[in-house]
C-alpha cells in the first residue's frame, strides 16, 4: 500500500468505486472489485519503483496476490492498468485545476506557468510513476482502451482555453495555430522530465525549466504589434 504523500494530500483521489467495503455490491461483484483494487495498488508501487518497461503482468499479479488470469479479467493490458492507476490519481488534481483556473491572472504565458506549476507539484511525490506514464506513450502495442500521457483531454482543453483567452485579451496572435501550440506545450512538459533522470531535478528545478520553455514558446504565439 502507498505511504502517505504529504505534498499530495489535497489532491487525494475521491473514487467511490474504491470506497471501503464496496458497499452495495453483490458478493461476486465485490470480489472482482477487491481484486481490481489490489491489482491497481500493486501496479502503482511497481511502476513507481521499476518503471513501465521493467514491470510485468506476472509481477503485478504476484504483488496483488492474485493469478495472472485474474488480472486479465479486469484489464486487457499493462498499459490499461497504468492508465487506470493514473486516472484514479488525478481526480483530485482536476478539482484543483477547476478551482484555480478561473482565478488565474497575468499574461497568457504567466497563466500557463501557473498551470504547469500545479501539475509539477502534483507529480512531485511520485516522479518515477509519472515517468512510467510518459514512457507508456511510446508503447505502440497499447490498446485503444489505454490512455497514456498526452491523451488527457481535460488538460488539453484547459491549455487550449487558456490560449483562446489570450486571443480575447489581445496577447495571443489570433492567427496562431493554437492546437499546434498545445501539442508543443505538452511535448515540452514531457521533455523537462528527462532532467529528473539526468540531473535529479526536483519540483522547483522542473518548474523553472518549464517556465523557460514556455517563454520561448510564447515568442511564437504572442500577438504582433503594428
Q: How far, in whole angstroms, is CA 138 from its chain's centroid? A: 15
Question: pLDDT tens-digit profile of 111-123?
Answer: 999 999 999 999 9
**Per-residue confidence (pLDDT) for residue 183, from 0 to 100:** 95
pLDDT over 90, % of the chain:
61
Half-sphere exposure of 99 (CA within 13 A, CB side): 9
pLDDT digits over 171-215, tens only?
999 999 999 999 999 999 999 999 999 999 999 999 999 999 999
Joined together, the cell numbers standing for residue 225 give 504589434
CB-count burial class (<10 Å; 0-12, 13-18, 19+) for 102: exposed
90: phi then psi, degrees, rounded to nearest 5? -90, 5
The DSSP string of 7-32 is: GGGGG----GGGSGGGTT--HHHHHH
Contacts of 212 (CB under 8 A, 6+ apart): none
Asked if pLDDT for residue 67 goes beyond 80, the answer is yes
Q: What is the pLDDT of residues 42-66, one digit of tens each?
A: 999 999 999 999 999 999 999 999 9
Average pLDDT over residues 63-88: 91
Condensed to tens digits (0 to 9), the pLDDT of residues 123-171 reads 999 999 999 999 988 888 888 888 888 888 889 999 999 999 999 999 9
Q: How many helices (H) and strands (E) does the chain have?
A: 11, 0
Do 83 and 76 meet the contact criterion of CB atoms below 8 Å apart?
no
Query: What pLDDT is attached to residue 24?
Result: 58
* Residue 6 pLDDT: 41
What lies within 8 Å, CB to CB, of 223 at 6+ separation is 170, 171, 172, 173, 174
The confidence band for 23, taking pLDDT boundaries of 50, 70 and 90, is low
Classified by CATH at the fold level, domain 6-76 comes out as Arc Repressor Mutant, subunit A (1.10.10)
User: Which one, of 125, 185, 178, lies nearest residue 150 by Cα?
Assistant: 185
CATH of domain 91-221: 1.10.357.10
Model pTM? 0.79
CB proximity list for 126: less than 8 A, separation 6 or greater: 5, 8, 48, 89
| pLDDT at 10 > cutoff 50 | no
State the pLDDT at residue 223.
72
- Stretch 65-92: mean pLDDT, rounded? 90
**Cβ atoms within 10 Å of 92's Cβ, excluding its own:** 18
pLDDT of residue 16: 45
Residue 27, pLDDT > 50, answer yes
124 and 7 Cβ atoms separated by less than 8 Å: yes
Q: How is the chain split into domains, by residue range?
A: 6-76, 91-221
Q: Is residue 83 scored above 60 in pLDDT?
A: yes
- Judge whether 11 and 122 are in contact, CB under 8 Å: yes
Amino acid at each position: 500500500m502507498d505511504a502517505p504523500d504529504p505534498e499530495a494530500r489535497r489532491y487525494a483521489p475521491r473514487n467511490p468505486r474504491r470506497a471501503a467495503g464496496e458497499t452495495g455490491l453483490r458478493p461476486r461483484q465485490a470480489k472482482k472489485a477487491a481484486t481490481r483494487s489490489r491489482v491497481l495498488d500493486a501496479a502503482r508501487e511497481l511502476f513507481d519503483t521499476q518503471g513501465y518497461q521493467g514491470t510485468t503482468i506476472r509481477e503485478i499479479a504476484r504483488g496483488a496476490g492474485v493469478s495472472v488470469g485474474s488480472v486479465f479479467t479486469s484489464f486487457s493490458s499493462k498499459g490499461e492498468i497504468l492508465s487506470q492507476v493514473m486516472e484514479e490519481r488525478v481526480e483530485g488534481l482536476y478539482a484543483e485545476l477547476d478551482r484555480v483556473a478561473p482565478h488565474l491572472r497575468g499574461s497568457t504565458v504567466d497563466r500557463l506557468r501557473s498551470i504547469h506549476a500545479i501539475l509539477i507539484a502534483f507529480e512531485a511525490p511520485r516522479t518515477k510513476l509519472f515517468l512510467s506514464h510518459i514512457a507508456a506513450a511510446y508503447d505502440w502495442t497499447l490498446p485503444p482502451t489505454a490512455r497514456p500521457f498526452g491523451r488527457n483531454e481535460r488538460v488539453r482543453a484547459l491549455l487550449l482555453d487558456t490560449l483562446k483567452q489570450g486571443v480575447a485579451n489581445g496577447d495571443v496572435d489570433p492567427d496562431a495555430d493554437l492546437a499546434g501550440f498545445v501539442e508543443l506545450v505538452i511535448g515540452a512538459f514531457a521533455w523537462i522530465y528527462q532532467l529528473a533522470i539526468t540531473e535529479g531535478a526536483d519540483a522547483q528545478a522542473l518548474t523553472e525549466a518549464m517556465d523557460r520553455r514556455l517563454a520561448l514558446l510564447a515568442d511564437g504565439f504572442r500577438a504582433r504589434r503594428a
